Structure 1
Amino acid sequence: MQFSRGIGNHGYESYEPCGVGATCTDALVQSTQLSNKLPSKDNWEYYMTFTSFQKTMKSEGTKILHIVAKILSNQKVKGNISQRDVDEQLDLVVDANDTILEHVANNLDEMDGIRRNPEVELVEASIAPTISGSWNVNKQMMVPNVHRPNHVNRSSTAAPTVRLLTAKNIERPQVKFKDRLDNSSTPFEPRIKDKPNALKPLSILLEMSEDGEWPEELADMAADLARYSEIAVDLEHHSYRTFQGITCLMQISTRDTDYIIDTLELRDKLHCLNDVFTNPSVVKVFHGADHDVEWLQRDLSVYLVNLFDTHQAAKALDFPQLSLAYLLQHYCKVTANKQYQLADWRIRPLPKELRNYAREDTHYLLYIYDTMKNALLDAANGNTNILESVLQQSTEICKKRYWKPILTEDSHMGVYRRSKKLFDNQQMFALKELYRWRDKVAREEDESIGFILPNHMMLQIADTLPREMQGILACCNPIPTTVRKNLVNLHQIVLKAREQPLTKLVLEEEISRVRVPAPSWQKINLDGALHCPHDLSRLGDFRDDLPTLMGDTSASSNRAPSRTPPLVQQAPFVTVFQPLEAQQDDDYSDLTMKPSEVKQLTFVCPYERYKLVRPYVDAQNASEQQAPGQDSVPVEEDEGDEDRIRRIRDHFFKVSAVAVKSEPKPVVKEENMEPLRKQLTKKRKHPETDTYNEEEEEPASSVSQPRQKQSRIEELVETDSKASSKSAEM
């Protein structure tokens, strides 16, 4: 309808007089009708079993691809559709349709007289920082004799203002990239094409590039850079209107030339710089290359070898400031023009102010490198130890790898901890779901999370949990465009969060995953005698086999042997806990003594002793409390200690006799009698020769057990008699 209306404005009532339009429309209608009659799904598999049908579909498909390739070439759409698989062909056709429709819309607007201005419209904003006093004024701004480069505008440095330079109608550079941006959570895959100056071969399957020729200017620059032993490099990056970020500009300076490279236009061709950037004989001078190394890998497939970071050198020299502006002022007496730090580097064509600003970053960097290298040698009194440490730190920066941002279950906790807020279960649920929604939308639309929904707005929504949609908009000032488009989805997240309980129920499987609380540090008396900071034996990973100044502590060292003899497993000489019948000699083949050689003693616990003595004590108490008219146990008045001991012994004999009768006799098999006799063998001592007679043996019998009881009682009586005699003496 829009096409016919545009033609009608030029004098045609419909598209009928236009023969070309009628022919195209009829052909499209007929092609659509025929395509709908093709078999689908199960019928397609059935028809593909016929050879004639397969040949026809293959020939027609080749013709269609040839026609589509001509259309794409006519519309200046980059890409060869015949060398792609089905999914990539579909993506290329979709992108081509968008481009063609954009051209159609521009042509229709031009025909209607509504031509949109394709040129970039610059928008500039200046912010003057507030100065609290005259002492804080930048004195170098007021000194007229300070040297400035010729390409820097002197009037622009008259006031210390920060200028934000952006533009309207900026075309997104991601649309022109040949390599599609992968914002998924899959790991980053390097796209390196070759590996010059390699110590190990490239073990990545490479794809053939369609445009293998380099621009003539790029080839000349690479050849010129190879002639120098030092080059200075810097990058300009943009991260607000893209998810992962884009390297927009590269500046390279030699001793004679300054190069400014458009990395948006030459994104897929700058891997040729690896010949110079990986050459160990060429020093690459950067200032603060921590992020530059990752950006080069991600966007340009360029890697660094032999780096010198002036930021690390400034740390080693203990400078009060580590910025490039301070180094320029300190060594070159040049006041850096840092008014365009927040500029949008996607602007094309690049304004003159931004070109001069970018050139200044590397123009003086090689001179700073020479001066700082001499300063590092002077700081070490002519030695190279400090310089080597800076080079080692720069080498560690070169080893960095780019990792894509990946969403995890605890990704939102970083924002929550930095906010220092206290959320309940409902608010934490809302924060987690809002964070996941923001990450998903940012990946799909290739926008930064700050552009989709800034952190402070997300925390405000999760904190207030507004009931109405207008409450969500009230939490955002200014309101992001993505929030307006997805207002219904955000409202559903908030309503779902309000349905959650205030306190979260902890499941049993979650208890095992609870983090161990951090140990509470106790106060330590540093002046105390027990405080030893070098005693690390309390730690779990403590090791005492590390080498020391006295020599190696391993077994192969020449240290003197320890005086402590090695531990040997031995059997006990006396046992009272385990019966010897349960032990076998074969089980103790590695011991010094066998169970049959161990002397066994009968152990009587204190409670058993108490039960044996209790009847005697009760009898004594009863006799003392007996009435005067009753018969009592006659007790001699002149009874001595010997008579008392004899009477106690007779009492124990009576008690032991009763105990022996009540105990069941052990059942011993005939086959086990022989080892039992050996165990119960007693060595008797000859009274005259004072030696042991091994020939005299007492056969084991049922009387052995009462004898053991009797000997035990005798020992107890003897102990009690000694105790009583001592008490009598006292």
Structure 2
Amino acid sequence: MNSILNPDAPEFYPHLETVTQNGYTSVNKTLKASTYLPSGESQEILKTFTNFNIIKCQLTENIIVQSNQIVINELPTMLKNDDLEHNMETIIDVNDVMLDRVNINIDAESGTSKPNDQLVNNSRNVSAWNDGPVHAKIKMGSTSFFGAKHIPRPQLTFKDTIDNSENLWVPKITEKPNNIKPLALNLLYNDDGEAIGYEHPYKEELDLYHPPLEFTDRGPEPPIFPPPLEETNFTYIDTEALLDELVKHLETVKELAIDLEHHAYRTYQGITCLMQITTNEGGDFILDTLALREHIYRLNVIFTNPTKVKVFHGAESDVLWLQRDFGVYVVGLFDTHQAAKALKFPGLGLKNLLMYYCNVDIDKKYQLADWRIRPLPQELIDYARMDTHYLLYIWRQMKHDLLQAAAEQPQLLLSVFEQSRQVCGLTYNKEIIKEDSHMPMYIRSRKLFNARQMAALKILYKWRDSQARLLDESPKYLLPNHMMLALAESLPREVQGVNAICYPVPPFVKQNLITIHKMLLSCRQLPVEPQLYQMPTSIRNMVNAVRYTASYNVHDLSHFPDISEEQQVNMDNATLLTKDLKCQPDILAFKDTSNSNKNKDIVSSLNVDAKLFIPPYERYRKYRSLAQVEEMEEYKCKEAKIAAISKGNELIETEVLAKVQQAKEQIEYDTKKKGTKVDDVVVSNNVHLETKSQRKRKISSDKVEGKDDTDRIIQNPTKETKSNHKLENIYKNINYKKFYSDKDTGKANPKMKFRKQK
């Protein structure tokens, strides 16, 4: 058996075909399964279970044993069982060695350098870089990668100047065919009076658009299934004359399917490289939009005609690319992606629609191809044609399904046209870098940076963006995100540290190595805050939700077929396994704290800052003791208050009787002395007589409390008596505080209230 990657290779491994075809799939499934493993606090909680530690330790040991079989072939060092830092460094070194060997072999195969020269001298042959683009096609199982080196930058040949500044993007449209309102570029402003963009040139036409009846009614005949690619007419358009012929052909059709191929890795805003158009009458067309960039605007006559339906799949990006690069707009769109949403399909991609309606299984293996390659290889041409070849047939079938789902009523179909109309109303605007533009990348990384690290990330992000605008390169090409995060996290002191983190070093980093190092050193001079960087509450809640999501389904891996129970764990040797692998739980909650807490009182044990963990039941017992003590103190306080009140009542009654007796004796004494008959008497608070002009109060003999007649102090007045006297309140100035001490109660008693007697 020969190797698929190299048919001329000898038979050196009996299962090479299985390894190369299934290896990528196995690694991909393994990576997906690893995202469901617990991490952070979820892992700390699960480490409290013995069974989890046993399985974790067994899997760790198996992974280390298998990895060492690969590592030993590259480096003499081995992975260790309980040294995470050492293992990470070893894996990085092994990957670097293997990638270097792969790069050497690719350069040797493409003719850039020879194997022997590469080992002797790392300098490349300069003349090889000027020989033109070098195409490379690599196949890994069912996945193919198509790329090229030394491709001339197409931006250098464009007649229109590319503006990557943060100034407002001005629409390129100069003519407005099929207009209801003449062309006018109107600025839009926000609430603060700042200009934020231009109004859509076809806004009036889109607001008044309604699909023709022929596109909302069921057709008289079922659609014809398109023939295969080999039997369909194909035209490659790369000249102005062929473009004019295409426009004439499109004026005669009612339906056309459109798709675009885009490249964004070696340019800042992106470049539209290809346009695919398919009609039932003319077949498939591919337009070289790099060669015809200044002439594509002529398609506005067709794309803005409301009597023609333009079928796209997922047109949100395509509509913006047409505006940005060519000044082309769309009126009369039907988006099959929006139709799939309305029909509630489980899969919304074009691959799913082709399989459902056409029973055609396409492979999106060239989705990441470099579409700047010229001339286009036949594989890329066939791949591009498949995006629109069956799209008109799918649109007819989806229209039938939408009408059938709504009982032959056009409401559901019209809703898809409405969603597509809103997609057409999108307008392109440049990306603006703000103060917090780096935060989405920081949140996705799930890292925790201090003040220095956040400052480094922010300054690197802004500097990278400014350089990308200047050089018209994508920021990720100049400095990948993972390298920028690693630089901000490590803040290397030496220049060699930057090279070590960014290995393999991108060309842009090599040219600006000193600048990057100076920025990192300046961030090291900043003060380090004691707390971690405080994210906004909404962002922090979102991060926590993402972190804790995996903890609910950490054991539910049944949907991964590669995760099986082939490796059994011997539960009888659980204790021995955990002892040998040093995986006992290291959480303080499960350490014996009984001896350390014997001599500590309740208050110190309940301290939230205590380093030792108190089990819940022990904490409950101590809290219960405190509660009982508080209840006893409260009960004693209530008893003291009741006793003081009762004692005060007795003293008040005794003193009142004494005062009444004293007043009675004084009245009798004054009466005998003056020798007058007293019908009305007045007793003041000081127990002496008052005049008639003073305020008086009658005291009835049957209202005065007393057991015998001697307790009465005043008799009812007779009718003949002209002067009426009133006994004033004798309780007014009595000091009740002296009747009980502060020991009986901690609070002052309220004033005693007595009902007035008549």
User: Under a length normalisation based on structure 2, what TM-score does the superposition of the two structures give?
Assistant: 0.49
Q: CA deviation at 1:504?
A: 8.4
How far apart, CA to CA, are the structure 2 residues paired with 1:265 and 1:254?
22
Local SS of the residue matching 1:345: coil
- The one of 246, 253, 266 equivalent to 1:228 is 253
CA distance in 1, matches of 2:690, 2:332: 99
Residue 724, structure 1, aligned to residue 756, structure 2: yes
Q: Which residue of 2 aligns with 1:283?
A: 309
Matches within 5 A, 1:95-244: 118-128=131-141, 161-204=142-185, 215-244=240-269
Q: Is 2:315–2:423's contact at 8 Å kept on the other side of the alignment?
A: yes
d(CA) in 1 for partners of 2:449 and 2:253?
Answer: 59
Give 3-state SS (helix, strand or coil) of 2:137's partner: strand
1:636 Cα deviation from its structure 2 partner: 4.7
Alpha-carbon spacing, 1:434–1:269, altered in 2? closer, same or farther (3 Å) = same
Q: Which position in structure 2 is the counterpart of 1:563?
A: none
Does 2:315 match 1:302? Answer: no
Distance in 2 of aligned mates of 1:194 and 1:386: 35
1:408 counterpart = 2:434: yes
Distance 1:651 1:439, change over 3 A: farther
Shifted more, 307-316 versus 326-335: the winner is 326-335
Identify the residue that residue 389 of structure 1 maps to in structure 2: 415
CA distance in 2, matches of 1:252, 1:483: 41
Q: Please tell me whether the aligned partners of residues 425 and 504 of structure 1 are also in contact (alpha carbons under 8 angstroms).
A: no
Unaligned runs of 5+ in 2: 1-125, 187-238, 543-650, 669-678, 695-728, 733-751
1:273 corresponds in structure 2 to 299
Return the alpha-carbon distance in structure 2 between the equivalents of residues 644 and 413 of structure 1.
93
- The reply to whether residue 419 of structure 1 matches residue 445 of structure 2 is yes
1:501–1:176 distance in 2 versus 1, CA, 3 Å: same
CA shift for structure 1 position 519: 10
- For residues 165-196 of structure 1, give each alpha carbon's deviation from its aligned partner in whole angstroms, at most 9, with x where no partner exists: 11222110000111111111112111111111
Aligned counterparts of 1:493 and 1:121: Cα–Cα separation in 2: 37
| Residue type of the alignment partner of 2:174 | K
Residue 402 of structure 2: aligned partner: 376
- Spell out, residue by residue over 1:635-680, the C-alpha distance to the aligned partner (whole angstroms, 9 max, x if none): 45999xx9798746999999x99xxxxxxxxxxxxxxxxxxxxxxx
Q: 1:429 to 1:227 in 2, by over 3 A?
A: same
1:300-327 CA-partner distances (Å, limit 9, x unpaired): 1111111111111112222221111221
1:5 paired residue number: none
1:444 deviates by 0.8
Alignment of 1:326-725 (within 5 A): 326-503=352-529, 634-636=663-665, 647=684, 723-725=755-757
Q: Which amino acid aligns with 1:248?
A: C
Deviation at 1:223, TM superposition (A): 1.6
Q: CA shift at 1:378, angstroms?
A: 1.1
- For 1:296, the aligned partner's letter is L
Answer yes or no: is the 8 Å Cα contact 1:250–1:262 preserved in 2: yes
In the alignment, the residues of structure 2 paired with residue 274 and residue 370 of structure 1 have an alpha-carbon distance, to the nearest angstrom, of 24
Instruction: Give, in angstroms, the shift of residue 624 of structure 1.
Output: 5.7
Gaps of 5+ in 1: 1-112, 129-160, 206-213, 521-619, 658-712
Distance 2:384 2:480 in 1: 29
Deviations 1:670-718 (A, max 9, x none): xxxxxxxxxxxxxxxxxxxxxxxxxxxxxxxxxxxxxxxxxxx9xx9xx
Letter in 2 for 1:190: P
User: Once the two structures are superposed, what CA deviation does each residue of 1:242-267 show, in whole Å capped at 9, x if it has no partner?
Assistant: 01110000011111221111111111
Can you list the C-alpha shifts for 1:495-537, whole angstroms capped at 9, x where unaligned? Answer: 111111111899xxxx9x98799999xxxxxxxxxxxxxxxxx
Q: Confirm or deny: 8 A CA contact 1:452 1:483 kept in the other structure.
A: yes
1:14 maps to none
**Residue by residue, what CA displacement relative to the aligned partner does 1:114-137 show, whole Å, maximum 9, x if unpaired?**
797554321112222xxxxxxxxx
Mark the CA change 1:119 to 1:402 in structure 2 (over 3 Å): closer, same or farther.
Answer: same
CA apart distance, 1:448:
0.6
Query: Number of residue pairs matched?
Result: 412
For 2:612, the equivalent position in structure 1 comes to: none
Query: 1:217 Cα deviation (Å)?
Result: 1.8
Question: How far did 1:478 drift?
Answer: 2.1
Tell me the SS of whatever aligns to 1:236. strand
Q: Secondary structure at the match of 1:261?
A: strand
Distance in structure 2 (CA, Å) of the matches to 1:499 and 1:117: 45
Q: Secondary structure at the match of 2:756?
A: helix
Q: Tell me which residue corresponds to 1:88.
A: none
* Counterpart Cα distance in 1 of 2:415 and 2:277: 25
- Is residue 663–residue 683 contact of structure 2 (8 Å, CA) maintained in 1? no
Whole-Å Cα distance in 1 between the matches of residues 390 and 536 of structure 2? 54
Amino acid at match of 2:388: T
| The one of 280, 296, 304 aligned to 1:255 | 280
Amino acid at match of 1:168: K
| Alpha carbons 1:163, 1:342 under 8 Å: kept | no
Cα offset for 1:434? 0.8
In the alignment, the residues of structure 2 paired with residue 454 and residue 650 of structure 1 have an alpha-carbon distance, to the nearest angstrom, of: 103
SS at match of 2:755: helix
Contact 2:683 2:690 in 1 (8 A): no
When residues 519 and 203 of structure 1 are mapped into structure 2, their CA distance, relative to the original with a 3 A threshold, is: same
Superposition deviation, residue 470 in structure 1: 1.1
1:427 and 1:251 map into 2 onto residues whose CA distance is: 46
- Between the aligned partners of 2:681 and 2:359, the Cα distance in structure 1 is 115
Is contact 2:154-2:290 (8 Å) kept?
yes
Contact preservation (8 Å) 2:682, 2:690:
no
**Superposed CA offset, 1:362-395 (max 9, x none):** 1111011001110111111212222122111111
Q: State the SS of the aligned residue for 2:302.
A: helix
Cα offset for 1:164?
Answer: 1.4
Give % identity.
48
Find the counterpart in structure 2 of residue 32 from structure 1. Answer: none
Name the SS of the counterpart of 1:724 in structure 2.
Answer: coil
User: Residues 653 and 424 from structure 1, CA distance in 2 versus in 1: closer, same or farther, beyond 3 angstroms?
Assistant: farther
* CA contact 2:169–2:430 (8 Å) conserved in 1: yes
- Tell me what 2:43 maps to: none
SS in 2 for 1:256: coil
8 Å contact kept, 1:645–1:721: no
Q: 1:342 to 1:651 in 2, by over 3 A?
A: farther
The Cα offsets for residues 222-281 of structure 1, whole Å up to 9 and x where unpaired, read as 121111111100000000000111000001111122111111111111111111111111
Residue 215 (structure 1) shift: 2.3
Q: Distance in 1 between matches of 2:183 and 2:156?
A: 30
Q: Is the Cα–Cα contact under 8 Å of residues 236 and 250 in structure 1 kept in the other structure?
A: yes
Change (3 A) 1:387 1:471: same
Letter in 2 for 1:255: N
Task: Summarize the Cα distance change of 1:164–1:360 in structure 2 as closer, same or farther, 3 Å threshold.
Answer: same
Q: Cα distance 1:227–1:643, how it changes in 2: closer, same or farther (>3 A)?
A: farther
> What is the CA–CA distance in structure 1 between the aligned matches of 2:403 and 2:127, rounded to whole Å?
67
Superposed displacement of residue 341, structure 1: 1.2
Distance change >3 Å, CA 723–CA 362, structure 1 → 2: same
Measured in 2, the distance between the counterparts of 1:250 and 1:519 equals: 43
Partner of 1:234, secondary structure, is strand
